[in-house]
A and B are shown apart, each in its own frame.
Chain A
Amino acid sequence: GIQVEQSPPDLILQEGANSTLRCNFSDSVNNLQWFHQNPWGQLINLFYIPSGTKQNGRLSATTVATERYSLLYISSSQTTDSGVYFCAVMNYGGSQGNLIFGKGTKLSVKP
Chain B
Amino acid sequence: GAGVSQTPSNKVTEKGKYVELRCDPISGHTALYWYRQSLGQGPEFLIYFQGTGAADDSGLPNDRFFAVRPEGSVSTLKIQRTERGDSAVYLCASSFDDRGHGYTFGSGTRLTVV
A binds B: no
Could you list which residues of chain A lie within 8 angstroms of chain B, going by C-beta atoms? none
Could you list which residues of chain B lie within 8 angstroms of chain A, going by C-beta atoms? none
